[in-house]
Structure 1
Amino acid sequence: MLEKPCIQSRGFKNVEREGEIVGFQVNIRSLYYRGLWLSQLRPATVTVNGETYLVEQITWTINGVTYTQSEMAELGDVHWGLLEPATLTVAKEGGLESGSHEIEVNYTYSCSYFPPVADTVLGGTHKRTLILV
């Protein structure tokens, strides 16, 4: 069951590969009532405790498949459903320390029935405090 806020409390964790912490993950949900095609999404940023992580550091996992943000721009046939969380994985050596973190996710998207200038207002910035255990 998804929570009402965009940023979900479930799934917030550090990512380990080959015994080393290489980043962290946070789950988000689409707030757009139709869901979104990946090509509609514009590059996202994730900010944790005031430190912003940019496009090159973030991948999205939707329906079990992981995409870079540049790959998503070309995928008009992959849909992110309203009831499906997306996992944003941020590359950060050592991950995050245990404890409370101020999380901010900023992404925008386009809609076929809005002019391109509206891209900057759809989606927006979402903030939430999460605890990493």
Structure 2
Amino acid sequence: MRLLEQNLIQLRGFRNVKTAEKTIGFQVPIRLKYYRGIWVSQLRAATVFVNEDKFEGDQIFWTINGQHIEQTDLGNCTDIHWSSMESATLTIRKEGGLVPDVYDVKVAYDLSASYLPPAIDTGYFDTKGERRMVLVK
């Protein structure tokens, strides 16, 4: 376990993702800003903005506790728990990744809580963040 930064978007781990042949995207590490931890089935899809580019839906998958989860499968993952003491990684599919530069990164996702009525459930938690980040390679 490593110490998490207070910001939703974590600096350590912002990088391109490469296979043996090519760069297939980039990663943005995030933290849960809800003190109790949640089951993955409580998560709602994330949206990531990098400068003016918007990424959402099947362009993003989550990695929590070493398990890769497509956004369309979040509601079906009832056996994976995300602790507030661990980071998660959003992997954004973008052929070629990002060139080394400074980026304005924004992340937003929602989560549900069983004790809140549906009318106020979405958007109740502080699950939005933005940060200027540097990709070095």
What TM-score do you get using the length of structure 2 for normalisation? 0.93
- Shift of residue 33 of structure 1? 0.4
CA–CA distance in 2 between the matches of 1:60 and 1:123?
A: 19
Q: Percent identity?
A: 45
The residue aligned with 2:33 is 31
The residue aligned with 1:132 is 135
- Shift of residue 36 of structure 1? 1.2
Contact 1:60 1:67 in 2 (8 A): yes
Q: Which moved more, 1:1-10 or 1:119-128?
A: 119-128
The residue aligned with 1:121 is 124
Query: Secondary structure of the residue that 1:120 maps to in structure 2?
Result: coil
2:65 corresponds, among 45, 63, 66, to 63
Aligned residues: 133
The residue aligned with 2:107 is 105
CA–CA distance in 2 between the matches of 1:55 and 1:121?
A: 21
Contact 2:34 2:125 in 1 (8 A): no
Contact 1:46 1:105 in 2 (8 A): yes
CA–CA distance in 2 between the matches of 1:18 and 1:73?
A: 32
Q: Which runs of 5+ in 1 are unaligned?
A: none
Greater share of strand residues, 1 or 2?
Answer: 1
The residue aligned with 1:53 is 55
1:96-122 deviation per Cα after TM superposition (whole angstroms, max 9, x unaligned): 110110000010111111111221332
Note the 1:90-101 alignment, pairs <5 A.
Answer: 90-101=92-103
The residue aligned with 1:41 is 43
Q: Which runs of 5+ in 2 are unaligned?
A: none
Contact 2:50 2:104 in 1 (8 A): yes
What TM-score do you get using the length of structure 1 for normalisation? 0.96
CA–CA distance in 1 between the matches of 2:134 and 2:75?
A: 32
2:85 corresponds, among 79, 83, 105, to 83
Contact 2:51 2:104 in 1 (8 A): yes
Contact 1:109 1:123 in 2 (8 A): no
Contact 1:7 1:126 in 2 (8 A): yes
